[in-house]
Amino acid sequence: TKTVSKCYVQVTGMTCASCVANIERNLRREDGIHSILVALMAGKAEVRYNPAVIHPSAIAELIRELGFGATVMENCGEGDGILELVVRGMTCASCVHKIESTLMKTNGVLYCSVALATNKAHIKYDPEVIGPRDVIQVIKDLGFTTSLVKKDRSASHLDHKQEIRQWKRSFVVSLIFCIPVMGLMIYMMVMDSQLSDAHAHHNMSSEEMEALHSSMVLEYQLLPGLSVMNFLSFLLCVPVQIFGGWHFYIQAYKALKHKTANMDVLIVLATSIAFAYSFVILLVAMAEKAKVNPVTFFDTPPMLFVFISLGRWLEHVAKGKTSEALARLISLQATEATIVALGPGNVLLSEEQVDVELVQRGDVVKVIPGGKFPVDGRVIEGHSMVDESLITGEAMPVTKKPGNSVIAGSINQNGSLLISATHVGADTTLSQIVKLVEEAQTSKAPIQQFADKLSGYFVPCIVAVSVVTLFAWIIIGFVDFEIVEKYFMGYNKSISAAEVIIRFAFQASITVLCIACPCSLGLA
């Protein structure tokens, strides 16, 4: 007997099925090569050769001569089939041992482990020698019932609809309340600038200024210390803080529980502190029956939430688009296959319906008109037209006759075909495409990894900076009060110096926190 070894060659530069045929045709002619199987999507050739005649490096060289890039793949374990089974009827450890030892003795099984607690068996096998149906048969012969672990074919994990809905709702709520807040703010700014103009032209005393100031509708005090402006802003801010910020609070809580600080933590911190500070200041002003309305930050949370929930919403919409394409691809896979046994002269002896995962390499599969091809294979018998548009994008059906290759997921049109399976399970073209798309989605761009790493440091830094700001201004204020007096708007002699300092320090530190939030948009 000749010894036969198997090697895998990574092939680059293949563009279509004719490249595959070209490589297979040319290499079969060479001495020492028994068989070659090329997978287009995976860019991989599996070669069985006689090591006495030819070496893998020489095989790669032959492929290179045909004009493709080729390198020998070292880890040949890639070709192992993996099978997950549910085994019923095991009662004790001796059953487990019986199954394991029998399977390990079976030719072609490389590794096997059976768990009694979960009733599951994990088996690695060589698809050249043995297939999943043979393994299942071995276990059945021992007196146990067994079935495949059902894979979730629905691709429900790819669904972003719920997130899209929740962020959209969050955005809309924030927007509805944000617009009036922005309106109030702009109105205040315009009025303020008119006031300062009036002040510049007529050298009015500050008492007259006060009178003018309080004559503005929004500055009118409903209760001592509570102006219309602040009251309206407060009313508009509460729903945003609760409904708009709900998801942010949840995420931030989860992050803090795991001792990490992400963007959500920063957003929640900034909005909560701004809200709480403004609320407390209002209460203080009312208690003191202040004449001058305090500066509040009620306009900050709604605007932050609007920008950030818009960003999140758009992000999930984009993710949803790619996932939708992937879910469509997954739905193209056939679920069942009809396996036939052929007698001499290609006479049909028997046929049975099996799960797609149980089709083995070398099986003869019958595909009826209108049926999907369950696996990649080669036509043995029959003539038909096949719609391959899902893979190639070619609108016209392609003629298939014995010797042509067919692609899993494509649709057989008018004739019945018998095909011999060449790539099954995770090796089919369709599975490879799905795998590529999934990998592309889960892998992050280097710049994104960098941004994630940065944002890990970014949040604690910003919090630290704003705390430093708070204390720095308090210290400056107590050392030299005039500086604070110069910058503090709405300073009024009726408030004590210490309170002015603390208010000013808080305003400065909240400002630092809030302006850092849109930076998270930059990172996003």
In a domain, 437, yes or no: no
Q: Return the CATH number at 376.
A: 2.70.150.10
DSSP codes of every residue in 151-182: P--S-GGG--HHHHHHHHHHHHHHHHHHHHHH
> Which residue has 């949840």 as its token pair?
250
In a domain, 329, yes or no: no
> Which of the residue ranges 95-109, 182-196, 267-281, 381-395 would you say has the lowest mean pLDDT?
182-196
Q: Mean pLDDT: which of 5-9, 165-169, 415-419 is highest?
A: 415-419
Q: Which two tokens stand for residue 23?
A: 């490589």
Rounded Cα distance between 290 and 219, Å, is 12
Q: Which residue, among 464, 186, 191, 463, has the nearest Cα to 303 in the 3D structure?
A: 186
In a domain, 328, yes or no: no
Residues 137 and 191 in one domain: no
Model confidence over 379-409: pLDDT tens digits? 999 999 999 888 788 889 999 999 888 999 8
> Which of the residue ranges 79-83, 235-239, 371-375, 487-491 would you say has the lowest mean pLDDT?
487-491
Residues 204 and 291 in one domain: yes
Q: How confident is the model over 346-363, as a mean pLDDT?
A: 87
Decide if pLDDT at 513 tops 90. Answer: no
DSSP type of residue 11: E
In a domain, 436, yes or no: no
Identify the pLDDT of residue 328.
78
Model confidence over 33-88: pLDDT tens digits? 988 888 877 788 888 888 888 888 999 999 999 888 899 887 655 556 788 888 88
In a domain, 385, yes or no: yes
Q: Return the CATH number at 109.
A: 3.30.70.100
Q: How confident is the model over 109-137, as a mean pLDDT?
A: 87
HEC sequence for 51-96: CCCCCHHHHHHHHHHCCCEEEEECCHHHHCEEEEEEEECCCCHHHH
Kindly report the average pLDDT of the chain as a whole number. Answer: 82
Q: Mean pLDDT: which of 268-277, 345-354, 391-400, 410-419 is highest?
A: 410-419
Identify the pLDDT of residue 383.
93
- Percent of the chain scoring above 70 in pLDDT: 87
Residues 167 and 242 in one domain: yes
Residues 288 and 342 in one domain: no
Q: How confident is the model over 352-357, as a mean pLDDT?
A: 88
In a domain, 521, yes or no: no
**Domain boundaries, position 126:** 81-148
Q: Which amino acid is at 447?
A: I
Decide if pLDDT at 210 tops 70. Answer: no
Provide the pLDDT confidence category of residue 467 given band limits of 50, 70 and 90. very high
More confident residue, 204 or 174: 174
Model confidence over 301-354: pLDDT tens digits? 888 888 888 887 887 787 777 777 777 777 888 888 999 998 888 888 888 998
Residues 102 and 230 in one domain: no
Rounded Cα distance between 454 and 471, Å, is 26
In a domain, 139, yes or no: yes
Decide if pLDDT at 418 tops 90. Answer: yes
Number of compact structural domains in the chain: 4
Identify the pLDDT of residue 222.
76
Burial class (CB in 10 A: 0-12, 13-18, 19+), 229: buried
Q: Which two tokens stand for residue 66?
A: 């045909």
381: left (phi over 0), alpha (psi -120 to 50) or beta: beta
